[in-house]
A and B are shown apart, each in its own frame.
Chain A
Amino acid sequence: MSADAVRVWLEDVMDPEIPVLNVNELGVVRDIVWSEGRLRVDVTPTYSGCPAARVIEAAIEARIREGGIDEVEVRRVLTPPWSSTWMRPEAREKLRAYRIVPPEPDRAGGTFPWSRPAPRIECPACGAPEPERVSEFGSTPCKAQYRCTRCLEPFEYFKCI
């Protein structure tokens, strides 16, 4: 079984917190290599304390065993640290359809370390620009909370790291 074929299996392993994205789309599977008869899968966490990380690692290992490979080691790697820019383009569209606005590059301006300008995003419900940032912290480590200033719909934004 080639590493590429294993990579395809991992399309079945979804992020438990954002179940529309699989681990490949999220960009957390860094390497899949055969070494001395053992398959090694390098996985990187999105945030250092993310509770989903362990669940994802266990699910990856389970999926590979289900494919018939017993000699498998899922290894946690930190370098380079995960970046929200690693998310695949199709993942961004899936997030949007799930009503989570995908990450956009930071805008210049503001006064460090406070008052960073909000990213250029639109309300996923009505499309109005310049939503209001409610909090940089949300229901999971990777999301911030925003509110549309036109239709008042609250929504989540996948923040940049």
Chain B
Amino acid sequence: MTAPAASGAGVLTDGERLSLALRMGDSALVLGHRLSELSGHAPVLEEELATANVALDLVGQADLWLRLAATLLDDGRDADALAYLRDGPQFRNLLLVEQPNGDYGHTLMRQFLFDCWHFYFLAELESGADAACAEIAAKGAKEVRYHLERSSDWVIRLGDGTDESRVRMLTAVERLWPYTAEMFDLSAMFPAAAERVSQNWRASVAAVFAEATLDVPEAGWAQRGGLDGRHTEHLGRMLAEMQFLQRAYPGAQW
């Protein structure tokens, strides 16, 4: 384990903490749901289990963040109400994670780009001064290390795989790269830590891509908006399915 040391993020105001909890919680929830869509459809049995496990971890982490958000909001809504009864423009997730699964190369590239940022950002939060965020980050970081190992392995295997798998990974990079800049807008809530998150992410992506025989794209147009509730067309359709039961049968209990 040679992850660089993090020296931590600062203390937040209640408003900033709420904003962070919603952005982290919604990103984990939306990616968790995207992965859940693959249940029963993964290409091999081992990946079926892996996908479901990563989804479970992310939905569990979303629950922790959204509970924190609900406590800070203090308006009678709980974590479930935040997950199931908000509309698209109220979601604060990264645009990257709402992108549809596409082919399995696209699914894994999306996962790798996110996991790598998630891993380094949680490390900063974990060693940071904000206790409420640090305890959630500490819990999540242990799980995300496994997510990152898996997605890195797959990016290498498919990038440096057959001609077909390589072309698909190149296409996935091209499609997803414009959504990566937004992750650093989120970590920029902590100016002291933001630069380290960005450097660590770039170094790991460069190392994995080199091993995968993929080129790191030049900086180009960055697509932003998710953190402020301006989403791509894909989120609404995803929420229509995710929220169907609570919308159709209000107050339904498991």
- Point out residues on A near B: beta carbons under 8 Å: 45, 47-51, 78-81, 106, 111-116, 134-139, 141, 145, 159, 161
Determine which of A106, A111, A115, A137 lies in contact with B54 in the assembled complex, contact meaning CB atoms within 8 Å: A137
Measured between alpha carbons, how far is A80 from B64 in the docked complex, in Å?
A: 15
- Binary flags per residue of B30-52, CB closer than 8 Å to A gives 1, else 0: 00000000000000001101101
- Given A112-B2, A113-B119, A114-B211, the answer on whether A136 and B150 have CB atoms closer than 8 Å is yes
Which residues of A are found within 8 Å of B47, using beta-carbon distances?
135
Q: Is the beta-carbon distance between B59 and A159 smaller than 8 angstroms?
A: no
Which residues of A are found within 8 Å of B142, using beta-carbon distances?
81, 161
| A to B CB contacts below 8 Å, 22 in the list | A48-B63, A48-B64, A48-B139, A48-B140, A49-B58, A51-B56, A78-B136, A79-B138, A81-B138, A81-B139, A112-B1, A113-B3, A113-B116, A114-B149, A114-B152, A114-B156, A115-B153, A116-B1, A137-B46, A137-B49, A137-B50, A137-B53
Q: Is the beta-carbon distance between B60 and A136 smaller than 8 angstroms?
A: no
Q: For the complex, is B146 an interface residue (Cβ under 8 Å from A)?
A: yes
Name the prevailing secondary structure of the A interface residues: loop
Of the four ranges (under 10, 10 to 19, 20 to 34, 35 or more), the interface on chain B belongs to 35 or more
CB distance from B32 to the nearest CB of A (A): 8
Name the prevailing secondary structure of the B interface residues: helix
- Point out residues on B near A: beta carbons under 8 Å: 1-3, 46-47, 49-50, 52-54, 56-61, 63-64, 116, 119, 135-136, 138-140, 142-143, 145-146, 148-150, 152-153, 156, 204, 207-208, 211
Which residues of A are found within 8 Å of B150, using beta-carbon distances?
136-137
Which residues of A are found within 8 Å of B204, using beta-carbon distances?
112-113
Q: Is the beta-carbon distance between B59 and A49 smaller than 8 angstroms?
A: yes
Which residues of B are found within 8 Å of A50, using beta-carbon distances?
56, 60
Which residues of A are found within 8 Å of B148, using beta-carbon distances?
113
Closest to B134 in A: A79
Closest to A135 in B: B46
Closest to B119 in A: A113
Q: Is the beta-carbon distance between B149 and A136 smaller than 8 angstroms?
A: yes
Q: Is the beta-carbon distance between B146 and A136 smaller than 8 angstroms?
A: yes
Which residues of A are found within 8 Å of B1, using beta-carbon distances?
106, 112, 116
Q: Is the beta-carbon distance between B139 and A145 smaller than 8 angstroms?
A: no
CB distance from B109 to the nearest CB of A (A): 14
Which residues of B are found within 8 Å of A159, using beta-carbon distances?
146
Closest to A108 in B: B1
Measured between alpha carbons, how far is A129 from B53 in the docked complex, in Å?
A: 27
Measured between alpha carbons, how far is A159 from B143 in the docked complex, in Å?
A: 11
Which residues of A are found within 8 Å of B50, using beta-carbon distances?
135-137
Which residues of B are found within 8 Å of A79, using beta-carbon distances?
135, 138
Closest to A159 in B: B146
Determine which of B56, B138, B146 lies in contact with A49 in the assembled complex, contact meaning CB atoms within 8 Å: B56
CB distance from B51 to the nearest CB of A (A): 8
Closest to A112 in B: B2
Measured between alpha carbons, how far is A113 from B143 in the docked complex, in Å?
A: 14
Q: Is the beta-carbon distance between A49 and B156 smaller than 8 angstroms?
A: no
- Given A47-B60, A49-B60, A114-B152, the answer on whether A134 and B46 have CB atoms closer than 8 Å is yes
Measured between alpha carbons, how far is A50 from B135 in the docked complex, in Å?
A: 17
- Given A48-B139, A136-B149, A145-B46, the answer on whether A111 and B53 have CB atoms closer than 8 Å is no
CB distance from B120 to the nearest CB of A (A): 10
Closest to A144 in B: B146
Measured between alpha carbons, how far is A80 from B204 in the docked complex, in Å?
A: 28
Determine which of A48, A134, A161 lies in contact with B61 in the assembled complex, contact meaning CB atoms within 8 Å: A48
Of listed A50, A80, A114, A134, residue having the most chain B CB within 10 A? A114
Closest to B142 in A: A161
Q: Is the beta-carbon distance between B143 and A47 smaller than 8 angstroms?
A: yes
CB distance from B30 to the nearest CB of A (A): 15
Which residues of A are found within 8 Å of B145, using beta-carbon distances?
113
Which residues of A are found within 8 Å of B49, using beta-carbon distances?
135, 137-139, 145
